Amino acid sequence: MASIARVTTITARSERSFDDAISAGISRAAETLRNVSGAWVKEQVVEIADGAITGWKVTLEVTFVLDD
């Protein structure tokens, strides 16, 4: 039997780091989507104010396997 997966795009933000933003995004996706099996970091962006980094944002392509 073949498995079918779907990919959805999500954006997550952290005030600490890219790693924290990725973890928060995956954690949140897993609360809503069943069978999350992987993710691709599509984009990373830093927010800057007055010459200092104020936030880290990531865009993730999250893959989840559809139920039979």
pLDDT tens for the 68 residues of the chain, in order: 788 999 999 999 999 999 999 999 999 999 999 999 999 999 999 999 999 999 999 999 999 999 87
**29, two tokens:** 């996706």
Q: Are 64 and 36 in contact (CB under 8 A)?
A: yes
- Position 62 scores a pLDDT of 98
> How would CATH label the architecture of 5-65?
2-Layer Sandwich (3.30)
What DSSP state is assigned to residue 43? Answer: E
Listed by start position, the domains of the chain span 5-65
pTM: 0.88
- Position 51 scores a pLDDT of 97
Helical H segments across 1-68, by residue range: 18-32
